[in-house]
Amino acid sequence: MHASCFKHYYETSVDKQLSQITRTVPENIQRNEFICPLCKTICNVFIPVCYSQNSKKFFTQFSESVALPDIMTPRVDIDIARLNTIQEKIRDELLENVKMQMDKKNWFLEKTMNYKASKVLKFKDDAFPAVLQDCIQSVTSVSPPFESFGVIIAKTIESLEIMLRGDNYNPKVKKKLLINQLNSRSLTNIRVWLQISEVFKSTLGVTKGAQESSNEPFLFSQSLTGLYYNLFQNDELLFDGQDYFTGLVHCEEAKCIGFSFKKLASILFVRHIIQSLMKVMVVITDKESKGQHINYDLIIRERYTGDRNKFSILLSSFLSVRIPNEIIDLVYSMTIKMVTPFLRKVLILAYAKYPVFEEEMLVVDPDLRECDKICMVMAIPTVDMVIENLNPEFFGMVDTKQKTRLLNSRIGYPSKIQLIHLPETLNDFYVYYYNSLPAEEQYEEPAICMFCGKMMSLQKQRYGDHFGSCTMHLRWECMNSGKGIFFLPRNNCVLLLDNGKGSFIESPYRDEFGELDRDFKSGHEVTLSDKKYEELQKNIWLSHNIQNVVAQNLENLTDIGGWSTL
């Protein structure tokens, strides 16, 4: 069980006279997935929290603006950066950052003299926590050492950003930043992963066991400077769809060579803008060459207010043709839409790294669009400032092969991600869809996949299958790692499935009194509640919470048979 859950249970047990904790069995014995018997959530890894505090102030890091020339054409002299003296400074800076946030008694590294009479880092005897060592070995067994935690952190933040899309249009939260909408559980997860990532990176190249010295004492420093060089100066990554936010997560700041977190974020922000501009232009060109109609009025939401002539020259140099005036606003609007999610994710990452956020120091015009508001808060150049300083010659040198690679690359164009559109009333499902199907497809107990929209017969096995149609649909047709969500119109409920386990939850359809009419016992007409449907999508689907909801429902059943009995 979680240590925090047990502590809370222990503190309240005296008052409530609680004496029993439900015993649980592994959900998956091979993966050691246990449900915490107190909070009923699945956890397949225990992450030790080593930091005692994190008192880094947000506005101390993001107080002064970044100079534009430093981020438009950044350079890393790889020969100088790989000198041992520089490598040692980079390594020691990370070590000092980690050590500062831990109790002195828990620090597990020390400098010793090796047989060459030089100082090397070594683990203190019995000081490196066994649970931390097990955690690091488990994660690095399935991914490269330097990327192990970065991918987890980047995908977690990306999921959070997607989940919160559209919330900013609520008048009550319009004047607040994205970080005010984050829940403490999500923030804690990100901060713990950041902490374990920093601790792990600090152990790279450290002498282990009875070794006299490590073969690569500056493994982390070498990896970091190489990463800087590729992200800043390798233009080929632009055309291959490099995710610059994931690159930012992998990077650690190295102030000793002039790269703070704010400067790193600004540099990769510029790279993302360049990539987004080119991606938008090649997609527009491809659609027009195929004769596909583009509704300019629907897409154009922003007007470029900078030097339109200069921006037109930049776009024309890339496309090699003179462009009409409306294309400027089309490219600009689509670029703004692609850049905003990047800034939202950077803000979440910055808030996780620097948690002391002083609201009284926040002075931002609430009427600014979100991307400019985030730039003002983080003291980085706005999108318009970056576009004004882009070099048209670079865009003119992009050849046809690079444009083709860019067109085929996977760079996401953001939108509000949601499940299928449900009819306004449940009667519409039968009148306009179900009754129009052939007789062999009018199933007695229909189940509709809310991800892809396919309808199947509930609990009916197809010929040759050993499982029901819903389970087989998840395994072979709707690839979602064995997790699915189905709407059952005859029972007016939602079915959740998770790798052979499942549970029922309430339907978003309610009667005129706002109450759930399960199995239509009252006979009232039910209509779709937009609020309930949005809550279902956000709290279960977008939060990747299906397995936890299923686990909680099954653990709370008095029926010992659980899902098998259902």
Predicted confidence (pLDDT) per residue in 61-85, tens digit: 888 888 898 899 998 888 888 888 8
- State how far the Cα of 475 lies from the Cα of 469, in Å rounded to an integer: 10
pLDDT above 50 for 560: no
- Max mean pLDDT range (132-141, 204-213, 374-383): 374-383
pLDDT band at 152 (very low <50, low <70, confident <90, very high): confident
pLDDT above 70 for 249: yes
pLDDT above 60 for 549: yes
pLDDT above 70 for 254: yes
pLDDT above 50 for 19: no
Residue range 349-365: mean pLDDT, rounded = 84
pLDDT of residue 403: 94
pLDDT band at 554 (very low <50, low <70, confident <90, very high): confident
Is residue 526 within 8 A of residue 517, CB to CB? The reply is yes
pLDDT above 90 for 238: yes
Q: Find all residues with CB under 8 Å of 260, minimum gap 6, and list them.
A: 61, 253
- The terminus-to-terminus CA distance of the chain in angstroms comes to 27
pLDDT of residue 22: 47
pLDDT band at 494 (very low <50, low <70, confident <90, very high): very high
Residue range 214-241: mean pLDDT, rounded = 87
Beta strand 42-43 pairing with 527-528: unpaired
- State how far the Cα of 529 lies from the Cα of 508, in Å rounded to an integer: 6
Q: Give the rounded percent of residues in the chain with a pLDDT score beyond 90.
A: 30
- The region of weakest confidence among 15-24, 161-170, 492-501, 522-531 is 15-24
- State how far the Cα of 457 lies from the Cα of 281, in Å rounded to an integer: 45
Which residue has better confidence, 272 or 171?
A: 272
Residue range 546-553: mean pLDDT, rounded = 82
pLDDT above 70 for 13: no
pLDDT averaged over every residue in the chain:
80
Is residue 88 within 8 A of residue 218, CB to CB? The reply is yes
- The region of weakest confidence among 102-111, 305-314, 528-537 is 102-111
Q: Find all residues with CB under 8 Å of 366, minimum gap 6, and list them.
A: 174, 175, 373
Is residue 333 within 8 A of residue 300, CB to CB? The reply is yes
Helix, strand or coil for residue 503? strand
Exposure string for 353-367, b = 16+ CB within 10 A, e = fewer: bbbebeeeeeeeeee
pLDDT above 90 for 39: no
pLDDT above 80 for 28: no
pLDDT band at 7 (very low <50, low <70, confident <90, very high): low
Which residue has better confidence, 28 or 542?
A: 542
Q: Tell me the backbone φ, ψ of residue 252, rounded to 5 degrees.
A: -115, 145
pLDDT of residue 460: 76
pLDDT band at 115 (very low <50, low <70, confident <90, very high): very low
pLDDT of residue 128: 62
Beta strand 501-506 pairing with 34-35: unpaired
Domain extent listing, the chain: 3-43, 49-417, 426-555
Residue range 12-35: mean pLDDT, rounded = 50
pLDDT above 70 for 262: yes
pLDDT in tens, 442-479: 888 899 999 988 888 887 766 666 778 888 888 888 87
- Max mean pLDDT range (27-31, 149-153, 385-389, 495-499): 385-389
pLDDT above 80 for 418: yes
Residue range 224-240: mean pLDDT, rounded = 93
pLDDT above 70 for 51: no
pLDDT band at 565 (very low <50, low <70, confident <90, very high): very low
pLDDT above 60 for 566: no
pLDDT above 60 for 21: no
Which residue has better confidence, 137 or 552?
A: 552
